[in-house]
Amino acid sequence: MAPLAIGIDVGGTQIRAALVAADGAVLDRLAVPTPATEGAAFVVARIAEAARSVAGDAPVIGIGLSAPGPLDAERGIALATPTIAGFVDFPLAAEVRAATGLPVALENDGIAAAIGEWRFGAGRGLANLVYVTVSTGIGGGVVVDDHVLRGRKGMAGHIGHMTVMRGGELCACGHHGCFEAHASGTAFLARARRLAAGRAGSALHAPGPALSGAAVFAAAAAGDALAEELVAEEAEMLGLGFASLLHLYSPDVLVMGGGMSAQFAALGPRIEAAVRRIAMPPFRDVPILPAALGDNSGLAGAGALAFERFGPGAG
């Protein structure tokens, strides 16, 4: 049997694990809750359990581990993960290696997903790709000239924390005006709830704090004026940030993943229109596409990383 890799994505809510083939196929998957408040040792134990469970008796070459930044991917250390207790200067790769007996390559979750889309998804065969995950936060990963950007401590591509509006909304990082603070799913929902509270005529008014992002998109599709404004504003902010990313990295394609990309049918054309208006002419024809692998981008990318580091041809 051809060797397989284990791809694991550690998030603040879930730990997801998969058996990944060399061609990116996700053969088996499972998800367990992250014991995010119980301490790092519990998280490591849960990761090892999930790895054993998906591996079964398959021949496994190693683990690609995708985790939220900021982390020092070179040294395998979680530096200060806000969503998981104990992930502060924590030697995550070494601990998972000790718990599983398998070699472990740690990667920022945005970069892992970028690798997945580049190798097997919307950017396959292209030399230049920017992947942006728009979810509770905004993260990403970048490939330029067929090279995955890592940079000092493997921290390149912290896309969510470029400032798009000086003095703008307060971000979770403590600074004002970050892309994440204006265009993430969290920002979208906060804006929707704030404006809905004052707009009694809108379909969004009644749900109050129970208003969901999906409900806003549904109301926009049904013609609710406030919902349409909110969707237009979200697309405008995404387009503004994406245009900056085109200027900064000059990709062949910009791929959008994360929870918000489920609404790509509504957002995509508006994002493209904003990019065409904002970007300089030579950058305007770059396609903006939804992630082709859906929520498997990160698992497939983590698997690819394990093959690259520990596979038959690895040096």
Residues that bind its own copies (CB under 8 A): 70, 72, 79-80, 127-128, 144-145, 147, 149-159, 161-168, 173, 175, 177, 182, 237, 240-241, 243-244, 247-252, 278, 280-283, 286
The region, left, alpha or beta by phi > 0 then psi within -120 to 50, assigned to residue 124 is beta
Max CA distance (Å), the chain: 64
Beta carbon of residue 271, minimum distance to its own copies (angstroms, whole number): 15
Please name the residues in contact with 79: beta carbons below 8 A apart, sequence gap of 6 or more: 69, 70, 71, 72, 88, 89
How far CA 104 is from CA of 61, 152, 207, in Å, comes to 10, 20, 45
Measured CA to CA, the distance from residue 160 to residue 144 in angstroms comes to 19
Residue with tokens 């509006």: 165
Beta carbon of residue 211, minimum distance to its own copies (angstroms, whole number): 25
Beta carbon of residue 23, minimum distance to its own copies (angstroms, whole number): 26
Nearer to its own copies, 166 or 194 (CB): 166
Beta carbon of residue 206, minimum distance to its own copies (angstroms, whole number): 31
Q: Which of 41, 38, 34 is nearest to 10 (CA)?
A: 34
Beta carbon of residue 154, minimum distance to its own copies (angstroms, whole number): 8
Beta carbon of residue 81, minimum distance to its own copies (angstroms, whole number): 12
Nearer to its own copies, 24 or 76 (CB): 76
Nearer to its own copies, 252 or 272 (CB): 252
Nearer to its own copies, 175 or 214 (CB): 175
Nearer to its own copies, 11 or 154 (CB): 154
Nearer to its own copies, 168 or 207 (CB): 168
Cβ atoms of residues 191 and 179 within 8 Å: no
Measured CA to CA, the distance from residue 140 to residue 257 in angstroms comes to 9
